[in-house]
Chain A
Amino acid sequence: MTLLGLYNYWIVVVLMMIGFYIVIAQGNLVKKIVGLNIFQTSAFIFFISLAWREGGTAPIALPGVTDYANPLPHVLILTAIVVGVALTAMGLALVVRIHEAYGSIEEDDIHQQDDPQ
């Protein structure tokens, strides 16, 4: 069954959808950022699994070895991890700021304070 060889993509899709669901459905802003983080790591796993080769080794030159994993996606993901944590820091700073202004980090409370009915 060759279709089973695609399982890495399916793990990525499942993780990505878990993150997506948390971002949409959770009312707590810190949990939303955790969901964003899960979504992000699923994209990282996608790229790293694309770079992996059967029978290859880590891309560090060794005498006598010719088969390495693709180093380019590794570099892209190194950059993406750092950028991702910068964005998370920004998001968490906004959460702190929202808590200062509204006294709550629950989406429902904030909407209610914005237009009370």
Chain B
Amino acid sequence: MRIRNLLAVTMLTGIYSLVVAVLFVLMDAPDVALTEAAVGAGLMVILMLGTIALTTQEERRHRVRHNLLALVVVAITGAALIYATLDMPLFGDPEAPAHAHLSPRFTQESPEEIGIPNMVTSVLASYRGIDTLGEAVVVFAAAVGVLLVLGSGSVRGRRAKTAARSRQEDETP
């Protein structure tokens, strides 16, 4: 069964984001879960609703393409990735290399050093503050990009309208 209605697709995307947020809570990442719920299930759904309001709500029906090539590419990539996971440390292994170097430093010393009990906040705002600045730059660039892409459209539309009006005025007298 295929969903043709893009409104339903948007709703399912929001639900998916909420489920992922629950997964993050279960994996001891409440900060990430809050962000995912607010941004993924909230902002993303609003953006998609705006898009389908400005474009179309119904996907056009076209003949079912058997996309064998895509399926083969995806299967090969997936198999390669599964093969690569065989060398990875087990899920939740406290001895995993990821926990060996920076993690003890942050978890043991950051509450005294920065004075905030939440280590994620200390790392985000202090130890890796430059990253957060870079993030702000990316968000700003995206906002400027969206305004440029959509703004030029409305300016062009207005120009087309005024051109049509002046043409009409030319013809009427």
Contacts and interface: CB of A to CB of B under 8 A. Distances in A.
Report if A and B associate in a common complex: yes
Interface of A: 2-3, 5-10, 13-14, 16-17, 20-21, 24-25, 27-28, 30-31, 33-34, 37-38, 41, 44-45, 48-62, 66-79, 81-83, 85-90, 92-97, 99-100, 104-106, 108-109
15 contacts: A8-B91, A24-B70, A30-B6, A31-B59, A62-B117, A68-B28, A71-B122, A74-B29, A74-B120, A75-B120, A78-B124, A82-B39, A86-B138, A92-B48, A106-B62
A56 B35 contact: no
Contacts of B56: 99, 105
Contact of A71 (B92, B119, B131): B119
B91 A56 contact: no
Contacts of B128: 75
B4 to A, nearest CB: 9
Nearest to B19: A41
A81 B145 CA distance: 18
A61 B117 contact: yes
B141 to A, nearest CB: 8
A86 B139 contact: yes
Contacts of A74: 29, 31-32, 120, 123
Nearest to B93: A54
B131 to A, nearest CB: 6
B44 interface: yes
Contacts of B119: 59-61, 68, 71
Contacts of A9: 82, 85, 88, 91
